[in-house]
Structure 1
Amino acid sequence: MSKRWVRRPEGSNWGDFGDDDQIGRLNLLTPEKVRQGLAEAQDGITFCLSLPLDYPGGDVANPRRHPPRLFGAMHGGQCFHNHARLVPGTGRRSVVCDDAVLLSTQYSTQWDSLAHVGAEFDADCDGVAEVVYYNGWRGGEHIVTPPPREDAEEWALHEGVSAGPLGIDTMAATCVQGRGVMVDLFERFGREHHRVGYDELMRIFDDDGAEVEPGDMLCLCTGFDELLLEMNRAPDPWRLHNSCAGLDGSDSRLLQWITDSGVVALISDNRAVEILPPSPGAASTIHEHCLFKLGVPLGEQWLLSPLNRWLREHGRNRFLLTAPPLRLPGAAGSPVTPVATV
């Protein structure tokens, strides 16, 4: 395959893992990193890190994303839910439940794939910025949106979209298992809506004796997960958008630390890892820096508080993390049911 770009964005790692790389820093999830994660599974205790997938509730968090619609599978005009049918050759009847779901892939606990955020950038030096994603994969050529269908329902207007080589299925094939490192922001800031920059994050690392090494997955506990659970699928818009800490994507030193640290994923229990919208005049966001420049996937709205409390009570901050997304070809994001083992 011919190279898709002549120049890469400043501060990016395009090409470092090969001209046709599709998984970014997940390349650093080596067998050694998996073994390091397994070494943290000392007590055999597991934690489910997913919210129920119908949280936060409604669409006030993001009007593009809606709660899942679960319905019985249909065949021949019949709903196959509590459906009794004759078992051939036995003279008896069995009962089956089959169902289906219409799901916004990034509504609740989720992964952002590398196709979630790109940029307009002149990668081929022809003087015209084009839509590109991590490692120069092109919008319209590799990440495809077909024209809308006038006769379709609203949800199917763009049926057939594909994130192509950067789809979540590419990430799923890596298995996404290794060592997680927890950072407790809730202990410092409670539910204060606070942008955490480089200096504060480094102080927290020092205070907690936390170390992040290349190939680790960094988790940020802010307490936002339990706030969502308390609102019980009826979120208050003001509290939803003005509660708990998040990273400050406008802090250039923080962005450089993400680059230098070698973390393979950033994960939080809040809505976006960072606080959005960014500070006025911000040159970048965590999303652009991680997904577009570095190939670092983002995990959002994970259930981290119970694990965080256990780790703090036991003087630990590392654990085995297993978190593959759905292997759904072409999707730009995915629900995930991560498991932490301590």
Structure 2
Amino acid sequence: MTTNIADVKSAIKVATSPYGADDELGALNALALTAQAKALGRVDTSKVYDLSVDYFVGMPSFQAAGDPSYQIFMSHTPEGTIVDNLNGAGDQINRHVCYSGDVVFLYTHTGTHIDALNHFGVDGAIYNGFTAKEHLGSRNWTKGGVDTIPPIIARTVLLDIAKLKGVQCLDDSYAITVADVEEELERTGLTIGEGDVVFVRTGRMAYWPDGSKALGNPPGLSLDAARWLTAQGISVIGADQECVEVGPSQHIDNWLPGHCHFLAEAGVPMIELLNLEELSADDVNEFCVIAAPIRLKGATGAPIRPVALKLN
């Protein structure tokens, strides 16, 4: 059985932010208010594209490293409240007022979610040199958490590599090259500028929610393609599969070199498991994305619900 791991090292290092020793935003600093206003000024409001997936018991999720599956259960039901009176309102009121409540339990990298800069690092440090020794407490990191990510409003370019190749979905473990990216930009006539968001479509979401096809050995960005994209000054990267990068790793020294590059070396947050199928079907390759994660203080990731509006 052969693997996709080449005898090549990734040579990734943690970067120091050009925005100062206290910076936790990294590439998100490029999301200037003027650029956001410019993008919003071009939107076509005739159709809104929802790029997220539903959360439900049994949904596909990353459990290979021992993380739990998504769970939801009721903590209050109308009939149960009558019986247990946990709210203290009494039988008569509880029969009149129907009270329901629920609790969710999930790995923060489940479903459509964003990876914060503290999710991956190198040699004990995350982006801008914050270290586990100094900045990791008993419950969470004190630096680079998902709560530091501001609302994302930006021009976004969709690299529809599956459509470029004329397939519904790229082959398992297909490594998207710099040439693929350049050819796709030539096909659509688009360019990538500083502060832009880039989403990559592999076609994997066409299989959702069949986890046996949607997850595992993902086609995705090669490390060279990842570095080419961050060199353009992008603020956020995203894809329709579970790790943005190709899997398994092509580099002998790192099991997720793309994560280490985007997060620790380039300071670029990553959005995973985006539903890009409707955008692709409508041939929408340029749009304004509006998205914001749940502000879980210090967390390495959080669910996010991006929406897209075409640009005029």
2:164 aligns with one of 188, 193, 198: 188
Shift of 1:143: 2.4
The residue identity in structure 2 corresponding to 1:93 is H
The verdict on how the C-alpha distance between 1:65 and 1:39 changes in structure 2, with shifts beyond 3 A counting, is farther
Q: Tell me whether 1:98 sits opposite 2:91 in the alignment.
A: no
TM-score (norm 2): 0.83
Shift of 1:55: 8.0
1:247 matched residue in structure 2: 221
Shift of 1:11: 7.2
Distance of 1:55 and 1:274 partners within structure 2:
26
**How far does the alpha carbon of each residue in 1:130-177 deviate from its partner, in whole angstroms, 9 at most, with x for none?**
x11000111132123x3xxxxxxxxxxxxxx21212111111xx1112
1:137 matched residue in structure 2: 130
Distance of 1:109 and 1:60 partners within structure 2:
12
Any unmatched runs of 5+ in structure 2? 1-10
Distance of 2:203 and 2:226 partners within structure 1:
23
Distance of 1:294 and 1:97 partners within structure 2:
44
1:324 matched residue in structure 2: 292
Distance of 2:122 and 2:14 partners within structure 1:
13
2:278 matched residue in structure 1: 306
1:216 matched residue in structure 2: 196
Instruction: Confirm or deny: 8 A CA contact 2:57 2:72 kept in the other structure.
Output: no
List 4+ stretches of structure 1 deviating above 4 A. 9-13, 58-61, 84-88
Shift of 1:188: 2.8
1:27 matched residue in structure 2: 29
Any unmatched runs of 5+ in structure 1? 1-8, 74-78, 121-130, 147-160
2:3 matched residue in structure 1: none
Aligned pair count? 288
Instruction: Confirm or deny: 8 A CA contact 1:34 1:177 kept in the other structure.
Output: yes
Shifted more, 262-271 versus 277-286: the winner is 277-286
Aligned-residue RMSD, C-alpha = 2.6
Distance of 1:280 and 1:294 partners within structure 2:
18
The residue identity in structure 2 corresponding to 1:68 is Y
1:157 matched residue in structure 2: none
Distance of 2:182 and 2:253 partners within structure 1:
21
Q: Secondary structure at the match of 2:199?
A: strand
Shift of 1:99: 1.0
The verdict on how the C-alpha distance between 1:68 and 1:19 changes in structure 2, with shifts beyond 3 A counting, is same
Distance of 2:107 and 2:242 partners within structure 1:
15
1:151 matched residue in structure 2: none
The residue identity in structure 2 corresponding to 1:247 is L
The residue identity in structure 1 corresponding to 2:193 is E
Instruction: Confirm or deny: 8 A CA contact 1:142 1:164 kept in the other structure.
Output: yes
Q: Secondary structure at the match of 1:177?
A: strand
Distance of 1:240 and 1:259 partners within structure 2:
25
Q: Tell me whether 1:69 sits opposite 2:41 in the alignment.
A: no
TM-score (norm 1): 0.76
